[in-house]
Every structure is written in C-alpha cells, then in structure tokens.
Amino acid sequence: MRNHLVSVTVLIALTAVSFFVFPGHTYLQSDTQIYVPILERLWDPSVFRHEIIARQPHVSFTMYDETAIWLRKATGLGFREVLALQQGIARFCGLAGVYLIALALRLRSLEALAVAAACGLGATILGPSVLTFEYEPVPRGTAVGLTLLAIGLVAQQRHLLAGCAAGLAFLYQVPAVYPYWLAYFLLALIPSEPEQMRRRIRGLLPMAVAVVLLFVLSQWQQGVSEGQEFFSRVDAAQEAVMRTRASYNWVSLWPPRYYWHYAILWAVSLLALWRLRTRLPADFRMMAAAMPAIGMLSMPVSWLLLEQVKWFFITQFQPLRSLLYVAAFAVILSAAAGVAAARERKWLECPAWFLPVFTLPAQTRTIDYLFDWGAPAQRQAALVAISLAIACALAFWLAARFRWAQILPLATVMAAYWAIPALAKVRNYPQLHHAELDELAWWARNNTAKDAVFLFPDAGRDLHPGIFRAQSLRTVYVDWKGGGQINFIREFLTQWQPRWRQLMEPAFVPERLERYHSFGIDYIVVSRDHAVRDATPAYANRRYVAYRTPNHSNQE
C-alpha cells in the first residue's frame, strides 16, 4: 500500500512538472481559440450572436462541452480553470498508463516511474500537427491520456477497466482512440483460453455503452449543431482552400522527410518490442504491435480516401492523428528496453535505447539530424539528447552498485524537463499573450455592445484575433485560425472564404475606414504602426489602436 501511495505521489509530481515546466501548457494559443467561444455561447446564448465559429459548433459528437459546462456550474469557476483541471487529470492518466505498462514489463517501481517520466517529455507529431501530450486543454488531449491509461490496464489484464477508460476517451474524441479499439477488436478475435476470452469480451462492453451515450449526447446538443454528411465529397473549390488552410490533412503535401521520420520511429518501436519479447504480456504485445501499424497505415488510407476518393468525412475524422501512437510507443518501448539493458548490465546498449527517448522532445524533426547536421540548432539538440542518454546509463550503473543511488535514474530523467528547454533551446510554443492584448480585450468586453463586431485587418495569419475573441466575448469578423472550421462544416467555406479574400488578403488601407461598416463591422483594430491619421481612436494602448467604423450613409 505504501509503495502504491509513493508511486501515485510521484506521478502527481510528474504531472505538475510536465504541466508547469516542460512540455508545458497553453490557453487560447491554438484550438482553444475555437472551443472557448463555442463553450461561451453554449453557456450564454446572448454572446457571439454574429460569430460564425460559435453559431455552428462542432462539439455534438463529444462530451467535452457537456463536461466543461457541468464543471463550471458545479465549481463556479471559469472555463479556463475547468478546462485546465480536465487537462491535468488527462496528463496524470496518461502517465499512470505508461507506468502500468512498464510494471507489466517486469520493471521495478522506480524504473517504471522513470519510463513514465521519459514519456511525459512529450513529442510533436509532424504532419497532422498533434502532440502526445497536448499543450492545450482540448478533447484530443483528454482522449489520448485516457487511451494510454487503457493500454496500461490491458497490460495489467484489467480489461473491463481498460474498456471503461477507452470508452470515456471515445466520448471525448473518436479519432484519438480509434487505433486502440481497432487493435482491441483484433485482440478479441485471437483464440485463447475461455477465461481470457471472457476478459476480452468484458473489455468490449464499455464500447457499446459509449456508442449509445455518444448518440444520446449528440441529440441533446444545445444550440445549432453541425450536420454530418458522411458520404459527401470535397469539391474543387473546397480542396483548393483546404490544401492551403489545412494542409496537415493532405499527406501528399508533406515533405518526404516526414515519411522517413515515421519509418524510423516505427522501426525503433519494432526493435524495442523484439528486445522486450521475453517480458511482454501477450495482450499488450498485440496492442503494441497493432497500434503503431494502424498509425503507419493511416497515411496511405488517408491519401486514398481524401485525395483520391475526395471523401469529406476524412477532413473531420483526420485518421492521420493516429501517427501519435507511432511516436508514443517508440518512446515507451525504447525507454523500457533501455531499463532492461541496464538490468542485464549491458551498459553500451542502454544509452542507445535512451537516445530516441530524448531525441523526440529535444528535436521534433528527428530525421533532420541526418539532413541538417551542419545546422547549429541540430548539433546542439543532438548533443543534449546524447548527453542525457549517457547520463541515464551512468545513473543506472550507479544504481546497480549502490543502494543510495536507486533514485538516480528517475532523477536523471526528471532533470531532462529542465535541461531540454535550457540547453537545447526548445520552445514548444510562441509567447502570444501580452498585457496590451489583455487590456484591449478588457476594454472591448466592458465598453462595447455584446453584438459588436471587430476586425483586425492588418493581422494576416497572426493568432492574436482569436485570443481577443475569447477574452472579450466579442465577434471577430474573420481571422486565419477560424478558417480551420472548413474541415468540419461544409457550409463554413462559403462564409469564411469570401470574408478572408475581401478584407484580409488585400493590404490594409488606413484611409478607407468607412468600407468596413458596410460589412457589419463596428470596430477595426490595427497595430500602432498602422494608426489612421486624422481619425479619433475609440481606444489605444502601446500596441493597438481601435477605431469605430464610420457609417458613410449617416455621414451623408
């Protein structure tokens, strides 16, 4: 009991370090710029009445919105706090799942915690632009954390609990968990002794419950929900915009290096599986082999169904996201193989296994080591990864000889949470928030009408308008981030694209403020460099100037 309590305490500490130190967490820097306005309108229908993002929410087939709204009612906190709470719980679940996997591989508790800590460093998934541990509190992050927990429970032969965790993940986001369920269905088909077959069947039962619940939740969705056109096709106009705005879905647009990147990671996971073959529980072996394979198959499948068949549903489902399990298993199995090598006193093999573990968080484009070795950033990242791998081997060597050194391997991996950002100069996300933007949003929220419409005409592809939208609870007429909704709602293209082409693609002309009023825009916000001469600002600070758009007809 004491050992379990210590392990849970360390996992909580790992969750806190990964949340506040590295890889960190963000809010309103990526997809939450879309989700938060949707949640705010579901919470209060009087806001965002003219916001095309919030009026067409794409949250019907997830319990993300229902959970956030329920938590807000129950706690009295804002969406930022309740979403962060879910994010923290999901990270803990993911780390706990990796810990359970490592225990199932017959590692000691401290060794299993070191493997969990190594996985907690995170990895960026090139191409589909997702993460093993999401920085933002989005449905995908919660679903992935629960899926890792489910895999760990399968490794521990707790099939019913695994099914419950994976069923809950299914309710948060289907695309993030479909590789688990495909692999588990294959596992259930493998003949085995009667008791083992019964366990596997019990693991399937929560999936049936989750499907029913998801259908019920979709029917109870508040407001206007998106219609699912499962068999519609992407037309030429949609494809042209999607290839520019959402190129991550189009595998033919990826640099060839990405294919080599995933081929290397898959090879690493297969080699690690072979290295651990005598330690692998049978059911986990199946999951560990099948899920990365499903991730690799997602590339040709996506190419066929989206780029050849033009199936619109693929832009919503985005099967390429399953590539994250190629990276996740490469890290988990490599770390476990490194520990196993240390247990067997194979001190030259040990750092070789830990090299991929530290390479991914230190340099997201692993294959770039081979192509861009001359670049200083690549050399620095490589040296950090190599140094950490050697340090881990040394820590295990000391732990094998001295009782006082048992904690050193875990401490060494934990040190990477500070060493990678400090020495490899890794910055996982830009610093978008600043005081002037907060002040602008506060002014708009407290001094303009709820139905006021804003535009940032000189922002281009900048992400600041999305932050303003969520913080001010005011409509932004069009912005680049919002255009990503073309993946989910077919009609969104006919609304977003004309707005973008008319008002954002042309260069901003300061002298023509009156033209914006004809589009229903009440205020424009520009940088100080583009301040309009002879016009009186409605608000200004050191970075931004906001102008009320003149009504030309009233002036006449």
pLDDT for 494: 87
Position 104 pLDDT exceeds 80: yes
> In which band, very low, low, confident or very high, does the pLDDT at 553 lie, cut at 50, 70 and 90?
very low
pLDDT for 445: 97
Q: Which residues neighbour 11 within 8 Å (Cβ) at sequence distance 6 or greater?
A: 92, 95, 96, 99, 113, 116
Cross-strand bridge partners of residue 371: none
Residues 407, 41: Cα–Cα separation, whole Å:
49
pLDDT for 107: 96
> What does the pLDDT look like over 343-402, one tens digit per residue?
999 999 999 999 999 999 987 555 555 555 556 777 788 889 999 999 999 999 999 999
Contact 248, 127 (CB under 8 A): yes
Pick the more confident residue, 289 or 220: 289
DSSP conformational letter for 233: B
Average the pLDDT over each of 31-45, 276-290, 478-492 and give the range with the smallest value. 478-492
Pick the more confident residue, 214 or 442: 442
Pick the more confident residue, 486 or 153: 153
Nearest alpha-carbon partner for 83 in 61, 59, 63, 67: 67
> What does the pLDDT look like over 453-485, one tens digit per residue?
999 999 999 999 999 999 999 999 999 999 988
pLDDT for 545: 97
Domain ranges of the chain: 2-30+61-423, 435-555
Query: CB count, 10 Å around CB of 20?
Result: 10
pLDDT for 514: 83
- How large is the average pLDDT for residues 33-45? 95
Position 556 pLDDT exceeds 70: no
- How large is the average pLDDT for residues 430-459? 95
Integer angstrom CA distances of residue 267 from 55, 69, 332, 350: 45, 43, 14, 17
Side chain identity at residue 366, one-letter code: T
Contact 389, 354 (CB under 8 A): yes
> In which band, very low, low, confident or very high, does the pLDDT at 259 lie, cut at 50, 70 and 90?
very high
Contact 281, 153 (CB under 8 A): no
- How large is the average pLDDT for residues 115-144? 94
> What does the pLDDT look like over 361-370, one tens digit per residue?
987 555 555 5
pLDDT for 14: 97
Nearest alpha-carbon partner for 118 in 1, 262, 272, 261: 272
Q: How large a percentage of the chain has pLDDT more than 70? A: 94
Pick the more confident residue, 7 or 192: 7
DSSP conformational letter for 106: T
Phi-psi region of 388 (alpha: psi -120 to 50; beta: other; left: phi over 0): alpha
Residue burial 114-134, b: 16+ Cβ < 10 Å; e: rest? bbbbbbbbbbbbbbbebbbbb
With tokens 């879910």, the residue in question is 86
- How large is the average pLDDT for residues 290-316? 96
pLDDT for 227: 53
Nearest alpha-carbon partner for 470 in 28, 25, 76, 26: 28
CA 271 from chain center: how many Å? 27
> In which band, very low, low, confident or very high, does the pLDDT at 426 lie, cut at 50, 70 and 90?
confident
Across 225-229, 318-322, 490-494, the highest mean pLDDT is recorded for: 318-322
Q: How large a percentage of the chain has pLDDT more than 90? A: 77
Integer angstrom CA distances of residue 191 from 186, 196, 290: 10, 9, 17
Side chain identity at residue 57, one-letter code: P
> In which band, very low, low, confident or very high, does the pLDDT at 508 lie, cut at 50, 70 and 90?
confident
**DSSP labels, 488-511:** T-TTHHHHHHHHHHHHTSSPP-TT
Position 217 pLDDT exceeds 80: no
Considering only CA atoms, give the Rg of the chain.
Answer: 25
- How large is the average pLDDT for residues 269-291? 96
**DSSP labels, 211-228:** HHHHHHHHHT--S-----
- Angle 178-359-365 from CA coordinates, rounded to 5°: 70
> In which band, very low, low, confident or very high, does the pLDDT at 555 lie, cut at 50, 70 and 90?
very low
The predicted model scores a pTM of 0.95
**DSSP labels, 243-312:** HHH-GGG-GGGS-HHHHHHHHHHHHHHHHHHHHTTTT--HHHHHHHHHHHHHHHHHHHHHIIIIIIS-BT
Position 49 pLDDT exceeds 90: yes
Position 296 pLDDT exceeds 90: yes
Helices in 402-473 by DSSP H: which ranges? 408-423, 435-447, 464-472
pLDDT for 554: 41
Residues 121, 100: Cα–Cα separation, whole Å:
17
Pick the more confident residue, 223 or 155: 155
Position 188 pLDDT exceeds 80: yes
Cross-strand bridge partners of residue 526: 545
Average the pLDDT over each of 25-29, 196-200, 222-226, 482-486 and give the range with the smallest value. 222-226
> In which band, very low, low, confident or very high, does the pLDDT at 430 lie, cut at 50, 70 and 90?
confident
Average the pLDDT over each of 68-77, 282-291, 424-433 and give the range with the smallest value. 424-433
Q: Indicate the average pLDDT of the chain.
A: 91
Average the pLDDT over each of 81-85, 254-258, 348-352 and give the range with the smallest value. 254-258
Cross-strand bridge partners of residue 544: 527
- Angle 305-244-431 from CA coordinates, rounded to 5°: 115
